[in-house]
A and B are shown apart, each in its own frame.
Chain A
C-alpha cells in the first residue's frame, strides 16, 4: 500500500538530508508506528506521502500512485483517498464540527443526501454525536482530535496518516484516540502513525519503523519504543 524505494530528501536550506536512502514498505491493512528522535525525518516522510513535498531522489508509492511524479492537478485525487491527522488538529475554525467533517465529502462531490446520513454516522463512531453543532473553539483537545479523525476517515481512505496525533493530549485521552485508530485499522484502512509516545508504542505491540537522522534504523514486526538505552 505504501512503498518507499531509496527515498532521500534534502531541504535546500539544510546540509544534512532529512531522509537518507530510506526503503520501507507497509502492506494493505497494516498498522505501523514511525518513531525516532526529534528531527529524524518522520514528518518529512509523511509529507512526501501526501505530496506536500517531493523526494529529492527515490520513488514514493501509495496504492498505484507514483506520488512524487504526480501532476499537480492529480494531487487532490490522491489526497481524497488518504486521511491525515496532525498534532494541531487543523480544523476549519469557522465551521461547526459537522461541517468540518462534511467538508471532506463536499470536496469530493458527494451528493448532499449522502453527506446528511454519513456525517452523523461517523460522528457517532468517534463519540461526538452530541457535539455536531459545536465550533472547534468550543472543544477539548481530545474532542478536536476525534473530529479530525472523523474527517480523515469519513470517505473511507485507503491510508490514514497520523503525525503525533496524541502529542497534545494527556495519557488517558491518548488511549481513547488509539482505540479509535485501532478500530479504523480493523475496517481495513492502513494506518501509519508518527509518534514520540513510548507508552502507546509499548502497549500496542505493533510494527515499529524507527528513523535516526534520516536513515532507517530499525523495523520490528511487533516492536517496542526503544531498546533500553
Chain B
C-alpha cells in the first residue's frame, strides 16, 4: 500500500505546474459552490426571519383610526372576527393610532423624518399574521375596499425584491461554479492522461511482472482525489477569508445591518467545508475513474 501513496505523490510532484493549476481550478470551482451554498442558507434564514415578522396590514379608515383605541367599534370587531375565523390567518393584533405612533418614534429615534410625522397621518391597523405567509395576496383581495378599510398591504411584497436579489446572486454563483467545475474536470482528466502517458513504460513493466491494472492505476486515482480534497480545503480557507475581510464588513455596515442575518464561522467550517471536501473528493474520484476506464488502456 505504501507503494501506491509514494507513486501518487511522486506523480503530483512530477507535474508540479499542472498539479497547481488543477488544484487552483478545483478550489475556485468549489469556492463558488460553497459561496452558493452559503447564499442559499442565508436566503433561507432571511426568509424565516422575515416571515416571522411580516404580516398583512389591514389599515382602517380615518374615523375608526381616530376614535377606536381597542378595536371596540362595530366596524373593527366585525373585521377582526371575520379575519380570525379565516383558515388563512394565524392571529390578528390590533394596533391603534397611538401605538403606531409610539412604534414609529422607536424605529426612527433621532432621525429627521420624525419631525414630519404626526399621529394623525398614521392609521390604526389590524396586523394579520398569516398561517401561510405566501398567501397574503388572498387577504389583500378579500379586504381591499371593504367598509372601514383604508388599504391592505402585504408586507411580503415589499421584501420580495430583496429575496429575488439574493436568489439571483445564488444562481449566478452556482452557474459560475458549474462552468468552473467543468474546467476542473477537464484539467484533472487531462492531467491523469498525461501522467499515465509519461509513465506508460513503467506501467508496462509493472504489468509484465504481474501487477494488476487496478494496482498500477490507483496512484492516478489518488492523485485526483488529493487534488479534490486539497482544492476543497483551499476553497474553504478562501471562504473564511472572504467572510472575515469582506462579508463581515459589508453586513455590519449601515446598509445591510439587521437586514440580512450574518453568516457565522460555523456555517463555513461546520457545514460548507465538509460538504466541499466530500463533493471535491467524489467528483475527482469519478473523473479519475472514468478517465482511466476510457483513455488509459495499459
Contact = CB atoms under 8 A, between A and B. Distances in A.
Interface of A: 50, 52, 72-73, 76-82, 84, 90-94, 103-104, 106-108, 151
A106 B3 CA distance: 9
Interface stretch (B131-139, B165-173, B208-216, B249-257): B208-216
A93 B209 CA distance: 15
7 contacts: A50-B208, A72-B213, A78-B210, A91-B205, A92-B205, A107-B215, A151-B209
Given A106-B3, A107-B215, A79 B210 contact: yes
B248 interface: no
Contact of A107 (B10, B202, B211): B211
A130 B210 CA distance: 27
A135 to B, nearest CB: 14
A76 B203 CA distance: 13
B206 A107 contact: yes
A73 B210 CA distance: 11
Interface of B: 3, 10, 202, 205-213, 215
A81 B209 CA distance: 9
A107 B210 contact: yes
A91 B201 CA distance: 10
Contacts of A108: 210
B211 A76 contact: yes
A72 B297 CA distance: 12
Contacts of A77: 210
Interface of B, helix, strand, loop or mixed by DSSP: helix
Nearest to B204: A90
B212 A92 contact: no
A48 to B, nearest CB: 14
A70 to B, nearest CB: 13
Contact of A92 (B202, B210, B213): B202
A103 B210 contact: no
Contacts of B211: 76, 107
Closest 9 CB pairs of A and B: A80-B210, A79-B210, A107-B211, A76-B212, A104-B209, A76-B210, A90-B205, A107-B210, A107-B209
Given A50-B208, A107-B206, A107-B215, 10 more contacts: A73-B213, A79-B207, A80-B210, A81-B210, A91-B205, A92-B205, A93-B202, A94-B10, A103-B206, A107-B211
A90 to B, nearest CB: 5
Contacts of A94: 10, 202
Contact of B209 (A72, A73, A103): A103
Given A92-B202, A92-B205, A103-B206, A73 B3 contact: no
B208 A79 contact: yes
A52 B209 CA distance: 12
Contacts of B207: 76, 79
A99 to B, nearest CB: 9
A80 B207 CA distance: 10
Listed residue (B3, B202, B207, B210) with the most chain A CB atoms within 10 angstroms of its CB = B210
Contacts of A90: 205, 208
A41 to B, nearest CB: 20
A53 to B, nearest CB: 13
Contacts of B212: 73, 76, 107
Nearest to B216: A107
A158 to B, nearest CB: 12
Nearest to A78: B210
Nearest to A108: B210
B194 to A, nearest CB: 17
B65 to A, nearest CB: 85
B297 to A, nearest CB: 11
B285 to A, nearest CB: 21
Listed residue (B3, B202, B209) with the most chain A CB atoms within 10 angstroms of its CB = B209
A177 B42 CA distance: 75
Contacts of A52: 208
